[in-house]
A and B are shown apart, each in its own frame.
Chain A
Amino acid sequence: MIYTACDVVDGTAYVADDDELAEVAWCDRATLTAHVPYPFFGPVQDHLDANVR
């Protein structure tokens, strides 16, 4: 399992596979906590803590 830190270059995120995904969303800290109410893997959590407000 590899986590990859990504930055947006251009374009808009969209659902390419309707069978698997319902929607995509850009989430701030509050929305992220509401959607994912559990801690991420340690380094990922650190990365999110440093970048997501």
Chain B
Amino acid sequence: MRLQRALDTAYSRADEQAKLRFARQLQADDEAAAAGIAVPLAIAIAVVINGEDVLLVCRREADPAGIIWGSPPASSSREPPRGRPRSGKPSPKPASTARSATNSAAASTRSRACAPTTSSATTSPAKPRTATRSRTRASSGRPEKTSPDSSRNSASTRQFCVPWKGSNERAHHQRTPSHRGSRHHQRRASPPDPATGKGKASSPGSSPPARSSPANPAPRPQSERPKRKPASRYEQQAASGNAYTPTPAEP
């Protein structure tokens, strides 16, 4: 209720252009919902400044070594449909809709997580690097690559950006190349197997050898294994030591 009053206050203090943009946004969302069009969701992160301090929230996570501090979520909103207009039929991609619904629930949960009474500037889904503070004080981030299919891109983008509970700095953080060598990532990375150079190195005691049982018999030594008869012509020639020469195609 308190947050709603703050939103009302922010709306009442907004200029006419912002109110008009807000009304158009709501109208576009309502039309899309009435037409049964899947509407991509947007996650808003609040960068709250009070004097010379910024508000951070500490999330509860089981892994204490993870990144648990970040900016609080602001709210969830729906982006207007972009790209080519679709038909009025329901979306044929239930997976995309499901992801959006999941994000919607997560976003609404996050919006309840922290409730500072703030006055927020209006935002626009502008391209990330072209957003300037002279036009709007908000920064709209979409650091992912764009694809011709904007609907699929937005769905997969959202899935990538919000795979966890909390703000999106972590997603951006994971995409930052400079972070890949940090202790957090190194700790989770597995060293390659010195024998094969691939995969996780096997450490003594980490994976005990499988016991022999009727369902899982112990492997026989290589010398006791019956040799498989070469099946193909190539295998027969290779077994006899002759080099394989392909048969010329008959005319």
Residues of A within 8 A of B (CB): 1-17, 19-28, 32, 35-36, 38-44, 46-48, 51-53
Indicate if the CB atoms of B128 and A24 lie closer than 8 Å: no
Residues of B within 8 A of A (CB): 2, 6, 9-10, 42-50, 52-60, 67-72, 74, 77, 109-110, 112-121, 123, 125, 128-129, 131, 133, 137-143, 161, 165-166, 168-169, 171-173, 176, 178-179, 182
22 chain-A/chain-B pairs, Cβ below 8 angstroms: A1-B43, A1-B141, A1-B161, A3-B123, A3-B139, A3-B141, A4-B47, A5-B137, A6-B48, A6-B118, A11-B6, A14-B114, A14-B116, A15-B114, A16-B112, A21-B113, A25-B55, A28-B53, A36-B70, A41-B141, A41-B168, A52-B52
A-B complex: 7 closest residue pairs judged by Cβ atoms: A11-B117, A43-B139, A35-B69, A13-B116, A6-B118, A26-B53, A53-B52
Q: Which chain A residues lie closer than 8 Å to B46 at the CB level?
A: 4, 6
Partner of B138 from A2, A13, A15, A25 at Cβ < 8 Å = A2
**In the bound complex, CA of A5 to CA of B22 (Å):** 17
Q: Which chain B residues lie closer than 8 Å to A36 at the CB level?
A: 56, 67, 69-70, 169
**In the bound complex, CA of A42 to CA of B182 (Å):** 20
Q: Which chain B residues lie closer than 8 Å to A46 at the CB level?
A: 133, 139
Q: A6-B74, A42-B129 are in contact. List 18 more A-B contacts (CB 8 A).
A: A1-B168, A3-B71, A3-B138, A4-B46, A4-B74, A4-B120, A6-B118, A8-B119, A9-B117, A9-B118, A16-B112, A16-B113, A21-B113, A24-B58, A26-B55, A41-B169, A43-B139, A47-B47
Q: Which chain B residues lie closer than 8 Å to A43 at the CB level?
A: 128, 131, 133, 139, 141
Give the Cβ gap from A12 to chain B, nearest Cβ, in Å.
Answer: 8
**In the bound complex, CA of A44 to CA of B182 (Å):** 22
Partner of A24 from B44, B114, B142 at Cβ < 8 Å = B114
Give the Cβ gap from A24 to chain B, nearest Cβ, in Å.
Answer: 5
Indicate if the CB atoms of B49 and A17 lie closer than 8 Å: no
Give the dominant DSSP class at B's interface: mixed
Indicate if the CB atoms of A6 and B113 lie closer than 8 Å: no
Q: Which chain A residues lie closer than 8 Å to B10 at the CB level?
A: 9
Q: Which chain B residues lie closer than 8 Å to A40 at the CB level?
A: 169, 172
Indicate if the CB atoms of B56 and A5 lie closer than 8 Å: no
Indicate if the CB atoms of A20 and B165 lie closer than 8 Å: yes
- Of all chain A residues, which has the CB nearest B61? A22
Indicate if the CB atoms of B138 and A5 lie closer than 8 Å: yes
Q: Which chain A residues lie closer than 8 Å to B50 at the CB level?
A: 7-8, 26
**In the bound complex, CA of A34 to CA of B46 (Å):** 20
Q: Which chain B residues lie closer than 8 Å to A51 at the CB level?
A: 49, 52, 54
